[in-house]
Amino acid sequence: MDKNHIIKTGGMQIPVYTCGLCVVGSGAAAWNGAHTARIEKDIPVFLVTEGVYMGTSRNTGSDKQTYYKQSTTALHADSPLEMAQDYVAGGAMHGDIALTEACGSLAGFYKLISLGVPFPHDRYGEYPGYRTDHDEKSRATSLGPLTSKKMTEALEKAARDAGVTVFDGYRAVQILVHDGEVCGIACISMKEIREDNPAGLAVFASPAVIWAVGGPSALYHKSVYPESQTCALGTALAAGASGVNMTEFQYGLASLAFRWNVSGSYQQVIPRYISTAADGVSDAREFLTDTFGDSVTTACAVFRKGYEWPFAPEKLAPSGSTEGSFSSRVDIAVYREIAAGRRVFMDFTKDSAGVCLSGAVTEAEVGEEAFTYLKNCHSLEGTPVQRLRTMNEKAYQLYLDHGIDLEREPLEVGVCAQHMNGGLEGDMWYESPTLPRLFICGEANGVFGIRRPGGSALNSTQVSSRRAAEKAVHVYDEPAPEITADMLSDTLFLAGLLDPTAKEALSAAEIRELRAHWGRRMDSCGAFLRDPAEIEALTADVRTELLECARYKAADVPSLIELQIHLDTMLTRYAVLSSMTHYIRDGGLSRGSYLILENGQIPAAPVIDTGHAERIGQVRITRDGTLEAVCGWQDVRPIPTEEHWFEEVYNRSGKPESYR
């Protein structure tokens, strides 16, 4: 590790650390990328993170967090082509990327097993699966609520054992570019504060950078993302990376006091939904029957919400419809109660009116589908929480570990942002086409389009980071160019906002509240319900905020870091809102996980978009004297079908030309 080089500028002395590959992030994608690079080539690999324990991979999940891969079940024939076809069937996804996601899935899965991740298997060595969203091949598997956490822990151990150097507590604030190509990053860290470096700046010089920073977690106020994770897509957009499908998110029901998806068995045990006055206690009443009309249809809708968890406008069919599902009407009913100033809870301590009247669930009370499922899980008797503990004890214990006992108290919920299907643009090696040598991995990469199979994001963390690391170390193996002060324009601008003497200097807490304010505005018009007029107005306000950001001053380095997060989030928000406006102006309708409002109202019968599934929205931020979001369209690339002669691949494998 070389830290002898110093950049001297503006009275500061900024240390420069030089490596063979720099990985930014600390989730399942980052650790896998760092580990892959080390075992591919004996070079110094740095993993740089604002906090090893802060990311989504380590802090989120569901009742039974799903990992999606090519089927490993003996009775379900499968192939990479079939898996790729299922990916692109979701719409607005490139076929070559879908094929790489499919072809790499088993390699990633079995690597995790070799590192000790205990995916369940039977006595024959088969890893059985189950069906998940948009899946007919039983490709899903799970370790329970904490699948991604266990993956991350195993990958971290492997990376550290392989000799990866970890820089913990370093917030990346600029991607450095030389002659149009990435050559490193600049960071702020409390560990680097000195008298001659008051802002705690540090530079990492690297021939390539893997950007595995997760999704835009601070974009919304109502969010399932862990509060510890913050946005970092704006930093890449500012450097010249392009975004794709930045209109596409997943939204769904989640608990609020402890951020967690309430999917799967949390719904399948059919808890009752109650709303209360603002105090959370008085005027409690069940409200879903107002939407569904009777207790049986209500129970069916709640049960289906378990495996149809993301809000989807096509799942708003009238109650009892034989032409489509109606489970997303649960989300709308919850939203309307909250919009009326009430609070909504899932209550596992009591059954809904009309359910379990004899002490056990009957088919007449909940319908054939729910009854058969609960019967097969031996979970017909008792209260919803007792059924939950019979079906999935780990799901109950998860909340208990966070101070919430579902046997004693209701669980407050809302409709929250959970995952971004779009993100930064990458090719089939996950390299930015507009910013060479920047590799975008995991959720930061806009791999997926309108819909994706449940659990496919975890597969993508492993496929993307392995492919990115392989190309980075085998193709970009020359030393990084010398980093100079003139490359640090954004970093030095940010450092100039540190002014403890300024009367208007903001504290870290004040900046976090500022971030929350803009998050609430995003919730109000640009989440699962989207109001075209309000989106356009908010887009203009966000752009104004960015143009006037020089007015802010930070009281100390922690508040300077918070200010950078705010600006990063605002730049991401500007790209996302601009993409939404571009889509709507092009005639885009409700699709995926959002509903386009009509004259500010929820439409009674939404029309689902069918005209944009073969196109992908693109956005770039221009900063040459002004600030503009430039949006356009790409045609979806088909799934490659060419055959490859073995000897040709054999002789080319591992050489730079094989990474075209």
Instruction: Based on the fold, state whether residues 301 and 261 are members of the same structural domain.
Output: yes
Q: Are 38 and 20 in contact (CB under 8 A)?
A: no
Domain membership flag for residue 117 = no
Distances (CA, A) of 86 to 4, 75, 133, 458, 518: 51, 19, 11, 16, 36
Predicted confidence (pLDDT) at residue 145 exceeds the cutoff of 80 = yes
606 contact partners, CB below 8 Å, separation of at least 6 = 313, 316, 589, 590, 595, 596
Here the CATH number for the domain that contains residue 292 is 3.90.700
Tokens of 642: 């060419």
Among candidate residues 384, 417, 450, the one where a domain is terminated: 417
Question: For the segment 151-163, what is each residue's pLDDT rounded down to a tens digit?
Answer: 999 999 999 999 9
Q: What is the residue-wise DSSP string for 174-237?
A: EEEEETTEEEEEEEEEGGG-BTTBTT-EEEEE-S-EEE---S-TTS-SSBSS-TT----HHHHH
Q: Are residues 476 and 577 in the same domain?
A: no
Q: Does residue 133 lie within any of the structural domains? A: no
Confidence of residue 321 (pLDDT cuts 50, 70, 90): low
Q: Is the pLDDT of residue 4 over 70?
A: no
Q: Is 548 contained in some domain? A: yes
For residues 503 and 536, state if they share a domain.
yes
Cβ atoms 261, 64 nearer than 8 A? no
Q: Which of 190-199, 312-321, 581-590, 592-601 has the least mean pLDDT? A: 312-321
- The answer to whether residues 234 and 372 belong to one domain is no
* Percent of the chain predicted with pLDDT > 90: 88
Provide the residue type at 655 as one letter: K
Mean pLDDT in residue range 109-132: 94
Q: Verify that 287 and 410 share a domain, yes or no.
A: yes
- Give the SS3 label for residue 158: helix
Beta pairing, strands 272-276 & 343-347? antiparallel
Which of 431, 454, 487 terminates a domain? The answer is 487
30-34, 87-91, 648-652: the lowest-pLDDT one: 648-652
The Cα 576–Cα 521 span in angstroms is 14
Token pair belonging to 138: 């039983």
Of 417, 440, 458, the domain-final residue: 417
pLDDT at 418 over 50: yes
Determine which of 12-21, 37-46, 60-69 has the lowest per-residue pLDDT on average. 60-69
Banded model confidence at residue 245, pLDDT cuts 50, 70, 90: very high
Asked whether residue 104 is assigned to any structural domain, the reply reads: no
382: left (phi over 0), alpha (psi -120 to 50) or beta: left
Residue 1: pLDDT over 50: no
Report how many domains make up the chain: 3
Confidence check: pLDDT of 560 > 70? yes
CATH of the domain at 533: 1.20.58.100
pLDDT of residue 652: 87
**Residues 6 or more apart in contact with residue 259 via CB below 8 angstroms:** 60, 223, 224, 225, 226, 227, 416
Please compute, for residue 142, the number of CA atoms within 13 A of its CA located in the half-sphere on the CB side: 20
Do 475 and 499 sit in the same domain of this protein? no
Q: Is residue 273 part of a domain?
A: yes
Quick check: 319 pLDDT over 80? no
Domain with residue 196: its CATH number is: 3.50.50.60
The per-residue pLDDT for 307 is 87
Q: Strand ranges (DSSP E) for 301-408?
A: 343-347
Find the mean pLDDT for residues 85-112: 97
Q: Are strands 343-347 and 411-420 parallel, antiparallel or unpaired?
A: antiparallel
Q: Does residue 20 sit in the same domain as residue 52? A: yes
- 274, 432, 512, 624 from 539: Cα distances, Å: 36, 25, 20, 19
Where does the pLDDT of residue 138 fall: very low under 50, low under 70, confident under 90, or very high at 90 and above? confident
Please indicate, yes or no, if residue 309 is contained in any of the structural domains.
yes
Query: Domain check: are 238 and 256 in the same one?
Result: no
pLDDT, one tens digit per residue, over 277-318 is 999 999 999 999 999 999 999 999 999 999 899 999 999 987
User: If you ran DSSP here, which 8-state letter would residue 569 be given?
Assistant: H
Q: Give domain status of residue 69, yes or no.
A: no
Q: What pLDDT score was predicted for residue 346?
A: 98
Identify the three-state secondary structure at position 628: strand
SS3 track for 385-410: HHHHHHHCHHHHHHHHHCCCCCCCCC
What's the angle, vertex CA 516, arms to CA 575 and CA 438, rounded to 5? 35
Q: What is the pLDDT of residue 655?
A: 82
Q: Domain check: are 156 and 277 in the same one? A: no
Query: Are residue 381 and residue 264 in the same domain, yes or no?
Result: yes
pTM listed for this prediction: 0.96
What six digits make up the tokens of 248?
């596409």
User: Which residues, 6 or more positions from 334, have their beta carbon under 8 angstroms from its beta carbon?
Assistant: 253, 273, 344, 413, 414, 415
Asked if residue 381 has pLDDT above 50, the reply is yes
Closest Cα partner for 616 from 637, 644, 593, 639? 637
Question: Looking at this protein, which amino acid is placed at residue 609?
Answer: D
> Is residue 189 located within the same domain as residue 41?
yes
Over range 41-50, report the average pLDDT.
97
Q: What's the average model confidence in pLDDT over 168-182?
A: 98
**Same domain assignment for residues 262 and 377:** yes
The C-alpha angle 633, 638, 642, rounded to 5 degrees, equals 145
Domain residues for the domain of 191 are: 2-59+146-248+418-487
Mean pLDDT for the chain overall: 95
In a domain, 81, yes or no: no
Distance of alpha carbon 617 from alpha carbon 272, whole angstroms = 40
pLDDT at 3: 59
